[in-house]
A and B are shown apart, each in its own frame.
Chain A
Amino acid sequence: MQLALVVGTVVATVKDDKMVGVPFMALRDLDLDNKPTGGSIIASDPIGVNRGEVVLYSKGSSARQTEMTRDRPNDAVICGIVDQWEVGGETKYTK
């Protein structure tokens, strides 16, 4: 799983029928110092996250393993809202 910042929402009216009802969020990947790495991704949101929150997301077939994304065409899903992380005993981020 990767750490990422929620930077926005994605609205798509015309899309595959199997994707209806799934909210999409725009994420920017973060490194361990809470700085953007340059990578970005659009992920489904089964939790209800807000812009500005730091989240964890999963990629690949694992992203279909939530109740909201089960059997849907989906390759990235938000798994949790991050409260804090530490590296080597040093707290790098606190919500």
Chain B
Amino acid sequence: MNLGRVIGTVVSTQKVSSLEGVKLLIVQPLDENLEPAGDPLVACDAQQAGPGELVTFIGGREAALPLPDPFNPSDATITSIVDEVSLD
């Protein structure tokens, strides 16, 4: 999993049927200092995350599993909303 910040939303009406009803968010991956690390990506939302929130997201084949229809082509899905990152 990676840390990320929700920075935007994507609207798509016509999509693969397995992703119908799934919210799409733009996520900026972050490093441990919460600085941007890599290019933004579009992730499916399994946690009702909102804009500006710090989240963890999972990539690859596992990204399909938390969504209502698990046979879907998502390759990035938000798995938790982060309360705190401590480096101490």
The interface of chain A, by Cβ under 8 A from chain B, is 1-3, 31-32, 37, 46-47, 56, 58-66, 69, 77, 79-89, 92
- How long is the Cα–Cα vector from A85 to B18 in the complex, in angstroms? 21
28 A–B contacts, CB within 8 A, in A order: A1-B41, A1-B42, A31-B39, A47-B15, A56-B15, A56-B24, A60-B75, A61-B61, A64-B73, A65-B18, A65-B61, A65-B64, A65-B71, A65-B73, A66-B16, A77-B73, A79-B73, A80-B15, A80-B24, A82-B10, A82-B12, A83-B11, A85-B9, A85-B26, A87-B8, A87-B26, A89-B51, A92-B8
Residues of B within 8 A of A69 (CB): 73
- How long is the Cα–Cα vector from A64 to B73 in the complex, in angstroms? 7
Question: Across the interface, do B7 and A1 meet the contact criterion of CB distance under 8 Å?
Answer: no
- How long is the Cα–Cα vector from A31 to B28 in the complex, in angstroms? 12
The interface of chain B, by Cβ under 8 A from chain A, is 7-16, 18-19, 24, 26, 39-44, 51, 60-61, 63-64, 71-76
Residues of A within 8 A of B72 (CB): 65-66
Q: Which 6 A-B pairs have the closest CB atoms?
A: A80-B15, A87-B8, A80-B12, A62-B75, A58-B75, A1-B42
